[in-house]
Amino acid sequence: MGEFDTVVVGAGVAGLTAARLLRRAGRSVVVVEARGRVGGRVHTDRTDGRITDLGASWIHGITDSPVAAAASAFGMPTTEFTVGGYQPDSRPIAHYDPSGHRLSPSAAASYVTDIHTVDAALVDVIAASAPRASYLEVTEEVIGRQPWTPERADRVREYFSHRAEEQYGAAIDDLAAHGLDDDAIDGDEVVFPDGYDRLPHHLAEGLDVRLGHVVTRIEWSGAGARVTTAQGIFAAREAIVTLPVGVLQSGDVAFDPELPDEVAAPLSRLRMNSFEKVFLRFPSVFWDDDVYAIRQQGAEGAWWHSWYDLTRLHGEPTLLTFAAGPAAIGTRGWTDDEVADSVMAQLRRLYGDDIPAPTRVDVTAWHDDPFARGSYAYMTLGSTTDDHDALATPIGGVLHLAGEATWTDDPATVTAALLSGHRAAERVLGREIDVTGAWAD
Ligand SMILES: Cc1cc2nc3c(=O)[nH]c(=O)nc-3n(C[C@H](O)[C@H](O)[C@H](O)COP(=O)(O)OP(=O)(O)OC[C@H]3O[C@@H](n4cnc5c(N)ncnc54)[C@H](O)[C@@H]3O)c2cc1C
């Protein structure tokens, strides 16, 4: 049995940040990780020399971002890509109408103005909404007040629906009204042409990380914590547990005693989403020049409504789209070719039958991944934003939950994971420490 000051469960960004800060403070720390790699939901595929971020891609706003600071300290190059928050107009976007024709600049401007009108009014409506109100109810309330034709209202209605799906991987009527409150973006957004996984790899340098160790049991008491894996038991004064919400809810890891109500109740109100990425590489660019994204309105866009042009990252013509919410559920179990055919049918509608077939397709399956069980957590009806922080309530002075879902300000992000790891380390040490220590040396 290994004896440590702290055992950290999970080598994602939350766990690695916590471990690094504790080690820097002179603690003995072991990180126990089920997968054969670090990074968790930050994962870069490098097959054939192509760089594909299968998990996180974006820093959603680099101003005052600790992830941006870490990436800069680790020498990670970035590419500006400020459309990651489903903005309607942050950068040039080619909008297509329901019949597949590109909106004129003035039609696009009116459409975007309508979206901003609803967004501005939503702030007060959400603040006054009932505890179990859905995002659908609050948007409907605002859209219903506008003197718009049904057609005009439908376009805006579907924008908000797609934004809920793409930002949270959830259907708009299943997302709590406050579920998109935290979505402000400060500064440019960036992506990583060399792969986001450089971040966890740098964070892991010099740490004692035990890969391939699937945790099945976590015991805790006043005397400390014992973490059981098939390869052995790790005992420590405290445990930091960064398991994703879906893994915590699955029962795959037994807690003894069970998680107390202060933590179990908020956990029950969060849910793992349905959100997958679809990357399509082509021999040539056939879509609109000089746009960051392509969006299509109307019924044909029910599943495939947005494509992001990643060509600027590596020079190879590449579009990224998302199977988000209902599309992810509807395509579950499909082969990659079936998904590609379905996406291509929509691209052919916009760009003609003679566009080239993709030369390579990558489709993620985070939902089927037993160590993630989805891409990230969202607030289902009845949840409040405080549920995130409540999930990290220290348990018996011994157990600390961390991870993206435990951070209220900006959950579902790498930033949240990193800051939650910092908070867990501070709680273990019982004092404040500077987060920059995680990338200082
Ligand atoms: C498709 C996708 C797109 C995303 N896009 C973005 C984005 O653009 N920007 C952004 O900021 N965020 C994005 N995210 C979210 C971001 O990736 C996560 O919020 C963040 O990486 C979570 O880090 P974490 O440390 O909390 O959890 P994880 O990275 O999941 O780490 C938890 C670790 O626990 C391990 N584990 C699980 N079960 C066990 C077990 N039984 N025993 C031992 N170990 C176990 C896991 O393998 C994992 O390594 C995206 C995520 C996905 C999947």
* Gap from CA of 61 to ligand 1 centroid (Å): 19
pLDDT tens digits, 273-329: 999 999 999 999 999 999 999 999 999 999 999 999 999 999 999 999 999 999 999
Ligand 1: lining residues by beta carbon, under 6 Å: 9-15, 32-35, 40-42, 55-58, 60, 84, 214-215, 242-244, 247, 252-253, 275, 277, 364, 366, 371-372, 375-376, 403-404, 412-417
Residue 267 and residue 118 in one domain: no
* Gap from CA of 40 to ligand 1 centroid (Å): 5
Q: What is the pLDDT of residue 179?
A: 85
Give the residue numbers spanning the domain of 156: 107-180
Atom 4, ligand 1: which residue's CA is nearest? 56
Best mutation site among 249, 363, 414 for ligand 1 pocket (most ligand atoms within 8 Å of CB): 414
pLDDT over 70, % of the chain:
99
Residue 162 and residue 204 in one domain: no
The answer to the question of residue 147 being in a domain is: yes
* Gap from CA of 372 to ligand 1 centroid (Å): 7
- Based on the structure, what is the number of domains in the chain? 2
39: left (phi over 0), alpha (psi -120 to 50) or beta: left
Domain boundary among 147, 180, 213: 180
Q: What is the pLDDT of residue 2?
A: 72
Residue 134 and residue 168 in one domain: yes
* Gap from CA of 243 to ligand 1 centroid (Å): 9
Contact of 57 with 83, CB cutoff 8 Å: no
As a whole number, the mean pLDDT across the chain is 96
Q: What is the pLDDT of residue 181?
A: 74
* Gap from CA of 412 to ligand 1 centroid (Å): 9
The answer to the question of residue 371 being in a domain is: no
**Which two three-digit tokens encode residue 383?**
């949840």
Mean of the pLDDT values across residues 221-247? 97
Residue 265 and residue 201 in one domain: yes
The answer to the question of residue 288 being in a domain is: no
* Gap from CA of 196 to ligand 1 centroid (Å): 12
The answer to the question of residue 311 being in a domain is: no
From the alpha carbon of 215, which atom of ligand 1 is closest? 42
pLDDT tens digits, 74-121: 999 999 999 998 999 999 999 999 999 999 999 999 999 999 999 999
CB crowding 31-40: b at 16 or more within 10 Å, else e: bbbbbebbbb
Atom 49, ligand 1: which residue's CA is nearest? 40
Q: What is the pLDDT of residue 180?
A: 81
The answer to the question of residue 264 being in a domain is: yes
CATH number for the domain spanning 11: value is 3.50.50.60
Residue 165 and residue 207 in one domain: no
* Gap from CA of 169 to ligand 1 centroid (Å): 15
Residue 251 and residue 391 in one domain: yes
Best mutation site among 376, 408, 410 for ligand 1 pocket (most ligand atoms within 8 Å of CB): 376
* Gap from CA of 137 to ligand 1 centroid (Å): 30
Mean of the pLDDT values across residues 64-71? 97
Residue 175 and residue 212 in one domain: no
**pLDDT over 90 (residue 57):** yes
From the alpha carbon of 366, which atom of ligand 1 is closest? 53
From the alpha carbon of 403, which atom of ligand 1 is closest? 26
Residue 9 and residue 123 in one domain: no
Q: Please, where are the H alpha helices in 223-316?
A: 245-250, 261-269, 311-314
Atom 37, ligand 1: which residue's CA is nearest? 371
Residue 206 and residue 251 in one domain: yes
Burial class (CB in 10 A: 0-12, 13-18, 19+), 434: exposed
Residue 162 and residue 202 in one domain: no
**pLDDT over 90 (residue 441):** no
CA distance 178 to 18: 29
Domain boundary among 119, 153, 180: 180
The answer to the question of residue 6 being in a domain is: yes
Tell me which residue of 211, 268, 238 sits closest to 10, measured CA to CA.
211
Q: What is the pLDDT of residue 200?
A: 98
Identity of residue 428: V
From the alpha carbon of 405, which atom of ligand 1 is closest? 26
* Gap from CA of 274 to ligand 1 centroid (Å): 14
Tell me which residue of 346, 384, 52, 71 sits closest to 201, measured CA to CA.
71
Domain boundary among 126, 154, 180: 180
pLDDT over 90, % of the chain:
96
pLDDT tens digits, 365-377: 999 999 999 999 9
**pLDDT over 80 (residue 1):** no
Residue 184 — pLDDT band, cuts 50, 70, 90?
confident
The answer to the question of residue 244 being in a domain is: yes
CB crowding 224-239: b at 16 or more within 10 Å, else e: bbbbbbeeeebbbbbb
CB crowding 51-86: b at 16 or more within 10 Å, else e: bbbbbbbbbbbbeebbbbbbbeeeebebeebbbbbb
The answer to the question of residue 112 being in a domain is: yes
Mean of the pLDDT values across residues 201-206? 98
- Return the residue matching tokens 């037993």: 370
| Residues in CB range of 57: below 8 A, 6 or more apart | 84, 191, 192, 196, 320
Sheet holding 360-363, edge to edge: 93-96, 293-296, 306-309, 318-324, 275-281, 360-363
Residue 230 and residue 258 in one domain: yes
Atom 21, ligand 1: which residue's CA is nearest? 41
Residue 119 and residue 159 in one domain: yes
